[in-house]
Amino acid sequence: MQKKKLSRLDLLKMKQENQKAVWITAYDYWTASFAEQAGMDMILVGDSLGMCIYGYSGTVPVTMDQCIWHSEAVRRGAPYTFVIGDMPFLSYQVSVPDAVLNAGRFHKEAGVDAIKLEGGTRVCPQIQAIAEGGMLCMGHIGLTPQSSGQLGGFKAQGRTAETARDLIADARAIEDAGAFALLVEAVPPEVCGIIRETLKIPVYSIGAGWEADGQLMICSDVLGIFQAFTPKFVKKYENLGEKTINAFKQYAQDARNGTFPKEEHAYRMVEGELPKLRKLLDD
């Protein structure tokens, strides 16, 4: 049966009914298709593609064009899933008009359902303008990878009363600015719980515990593909990195020792054509 794509109102209802929303990142057609077949509620085309696909050490080099190309592929792979495009570094920080135009590109060129951007009070003018432009905008606070330099690295946030209070103030400001949902990253579960209780909009967690309205994970972490580092909050459900290396090794070994390819992998000539070819060559 064809799946029904969720709307903002469905996500809100899920929060109100204490039903957890589950989402995952995807950067390409086939991962998106598997995510849809697995029944994910949402897919994020994260700018984590910089690390997971392009091998950068962080998300800062990622461009708008890269995000659009990958979002297009994900849209094709998951036509019935709520897809969120991630605004890359410098696509919204410089000015409010830039933010609206780039959010619009995600919608017009890639057909996403919403966009996400990082930051608290300081990006509220952008969130408000995007919402006034008729688009759905998700906030993202806590560990915000695009500003990890300013945060002093990829570190958990909101672990003291004062920093937690600032995060809660950011969360309120984001809701007031018109965001339809909020993602909280690498924050203690108790702080995420307070944010969840405080806001009417859905509050999702990546590394922020079990009290949120739902969970996000990075596909390359869940599958055990990303090998550079593993954050504390990651649970690997597979080790596809190791399995892939083993499959490649096996293929190389078979090709080298002649056990691949075999008869069943060959396209033979039409019966009777080989002698004719030999004759043609002799003539």
| Cα–Cα distance measured from residue 225 to residue 144, given in angstroms and rounded to the nearest whole number | 22
Of 145 and 193, nearer to ligand KIV (C-beta) is 145
Min separation Cβ 183 and ligand KIV, Å: 6
206 binds ligand KIV (CB under 6 A): yes
**Which helix (H) or strand (E) segment is 228 a member of?**
none
CA 80 to chain centre: 16
6 SS3 class: coil
**What is the distance between the alpha carbons of residues 274 and 266, in angstroms, rounded to a whole number?**
15
Nearest to 91 by CA among 109, 70, 110, 105: 105
Answer yes or no whether residue 46 interacts with ligand KIV by CB under 6 A.
Answer: yes
Residues with catalytic function? 185
Among 36, 41, 72, 86, indicate the residue that binds ligand KIV (CB under 6 A).
Answer: 86
Which residues 130-159 are close enough to bind ligand KIV by CB under 6 A?
A: 145
CA dist., res. 185 & res. 119, Å (int): 11
Q: Does 48 contact ligand KIV by CB under 6 A?
A: yes
Which backbone phi and psi does 112 adopt, to 5 degrees?
-70, 170
Residue 244 CB, nearest distance to ligand KIV (Å)? 21
| Separation CA 148–CA 186 (nearest Å) | 12
Determine if residue 119 is left, alpha or beta; phi over 0 gives left, psi from -120 to 50 gives alpha, anything else beta.
left
Residues found in the chain? 283
Give 139 or 145: the residue with its C-beta nearer to ligand KIV.
145
- Can you tell me which of 23, 27, 43, 47 binds ligand KIV, judged by CB under 6 A? 47
Q: Which stretch binds ligand KIV (CB under 6 A): 10-18, 44-52, 94-102, 147-155?
A: 44-52
Chain residue whose CB lies nearest ligand KIV: 46
Is the preceding omega at residue 145 within 30 degrees of 0, hence cis?
Answer: no
CB of 25 to ligand KIV, least distance (A): 5
* In the block, residue with structure tokens 């946030």: 157
The structure tokens listed for 144 are: 């915000």
Which of 11, 40, 44, 114 touches ligand KIV by CB under 6 A? 44
CA distance 188 to 191: 5
Sole binder of ligand KIV in the list 164, 218, 222, 225 (CB under 6 A) = 218
Binding of ligand KIV by 221 (CB under 6 A) = no
Q: By CB under 6 A, is residue 32 in contact with ligand KIV?
A: no
CA dist 145 and 168 (Å) reads 19
CB of 186 to ligand KIV, least distance (A): 9
Q: Which is nearer to ligand KIV, 84 or 164 (CB)?
A: 84
Residues 223-282 that bind ligand KIV (CB under 6 A): none
Q: Which residues in the 162-201 window bind ligand KIV by CB under 6 A? A: 183, 185
Site residues, ligand KIV (CB under 6 A)? 25, 44, 46-48, 86, 145, 183, 185, 206, 216, 218
